[in-house]
Amino acid sequence: MTTIEIVRSQKGHIDAFRISGHSGYEESGKDIICSSISTAVNITVGMIEKLGLKYDYRVEEETATLQFDLQSTHDIAILVLDNFYEHVIALSKEYKQYLKITEKRR
């Protein structure tokens, strides 16, 4: 199962997320859930980068863990991260047994 932890600021905006595990829907390289999440991450990080905002992005292959932390904020970044959230929530509703979303505040 893949777990996505959404981290919200004190104001309630998403400013970080952590993704771990493999969904197990299909073997690696053929898994549509992992592919969908990877695409959403790449689009999200690419948009944040185009905005010129500072962020920390780490991938640990051996533990199948990815971490994204926004270091500064911007109105458009809030929308981009909200879009990521809406995408993974929709995905988790369709594939409940393969994807779990948790949330916490800083």
Query: In the chain, at which residue ranges do the beta strands (DSSP E only) sit?
Result: 2-8, 14-20, 55-60, 65-70, 99-105
How many structural domains comprise the chain? Answer: 1
Domain coverage including residue 19: 2-105
CATH code where residue 55 lies: 3.30.70.1490
Q: How far apart are the first and last CA of the chain?
A: 25
Q: What is the pLDDT of residues 84-101, one digit of tens each?
A: 999 999 999 999 999 999
Is residue 81's pLDDT more than 90? yes
Which pLDDT score is estimated for 93? Answer: 97
What pTM, to 2 d.p., does this model score? Answer: 0.94
* 7: three-class secondary structure by DSSP: strand
Q: What is the pLDDT of residues 26-41, one digit of tens each?
A: 988 899 999 999 999 9
Mean predicted lDDT score pLDDT of the chain: 95
